[in-house]
Amino acid sequence: MLTPRSPGVSAAGRRSARPAPKTVRVAPTRAHRRKDRRHKRRRRSLGLCIRLVGLAGLIGFLIDGALFDQVNPGSGPRFSPALESGAQSDARSGATRPVSGESESPTPFIQERGQAGSGLAVGASDSPDEFTPRRGPRFAASGSRPRAIAVPEQGPGTFTTVAMEDRGGVVGGRSRTLYRVEVEDRLPLSKNVFARIVDATLADARGWGGGNQYRLDRTSGVAAIRVVLATPATTDLLCAPLATNGRVSCRNGSDVVINAWRWVHGAPSYRGDLANYRRYVINHEVGHALGRPHQTCPRPGAATPVMLQQTLGLQGCRRNPWPVNVDLIND
């Protein structure tokens, strides 16, 4: 006999009608809260340490660069050193011209212009600390106060003549030697300041005009001597095949080439006296253009001849930028 179903609830309904299991939330204990706080503190400390390490690295990098600039104001040679030669070919025209200057390697007995057959030794060797990496302090266009001047290693190779009215005439029976001042384009140095320093140096009574043999006058036209301020790469080109290595100046034929890097940085032998180093390098290279050969230190403690390669060392003498009482004393 069939029993009628109880109306209302099926088997599925009976299953769904079961009460859902209760979720029991356990309140965090004091130990859990302390553990969470410790984890947060550790994360914050780790982040702070990472930031401090990064900041310390940046400060160390800046200090290291500043100390490097102070300890290494010079520069190392760019190319392999070569020897000076008494008669060198002009890189621009192919002509043969006498070359002189301050090379960075020992040189053999060679001939200077006007010294044929003399066998005069005109070379000088540099000391190891003369030429160091190229980073270093910059100096103003005139004077020796530090200033942010970065001399480009290479320029366009074109020059601007600094205008000057030709004065003409001959004074005191001495034949006049004309010079022209040029500055390579795009150099971050004042053309007029460079020209004024050249003029003042060559007109000084302690200079080449202070004796009875020379008179130097500036012109903006045709001149026997061309005084140029050039970037290191252009200096190398104008002085070739003499190895100036981008760091020293030279005289090549009628060109007196002043290296702009050396003009800004000076030399260890004139440390702290950039103004007199500039006077020296002008007088030294113009002296070559006047036919003067290199000299050596006459005795320890004596005033150095201008024609000694003072950029490379003083050989025991005292630095001296003027020729009148040393180089011209017997003229």
What pLDDT is stored for residue 129 in this prediction?
29
Q: Is the pLDDT of residue 173 over 50?
A: no
What pLDDT is stored for residue 104 in this prediction?
42
Nearest-angstrom CA–CA distance, 260 and 215: 26
Work out the angle at residue 102's Cα, subtended by the Cα atoms of residues 98 and 103, and round it to the nearest 5 degrees: 90
Q: Is the pLDDT of residue 262 over 70?
A: yes
pTM listed for this prediction: 0.59
What pLDDT is stored for residue 37 in this prediction?
83
φ and ψ at 307, to 5 degrees?
-85, 5
pLDDT in tens, 198-250: 999 999 999 998 877 899 999 999 999 999 999 999 999 999 999 999 999 99
Domains of the chain by residue range? 93-165+185-312
Nearest-angstrom CA–CA distance, 156 and 168: 33
Q: Is the pLDDT of residue 63 over 70?
A: no
Q: Is the pLDDT of residue 252 over 70?
A: yes
DSSP category for residue 134: S
Token pair of 305, please?
């001849």
Q: Is the pLDDT of residue 117 over 70?
A: no
Give the least confident one: 69-78, 129-138, 310-319.
Answer: 129-138
Higher pLDDT, residue 187 or 165: 187
Find where tokens 């795009």 sit: 186
Residue % of the chain over a pLDDT of 70: 61
Strands 87-89 and 96-101: antiparallel
Higher pLDDT, residue 196 or 93: 196
Nearest-angstrom CA–CA distance, 3 and 66: 104
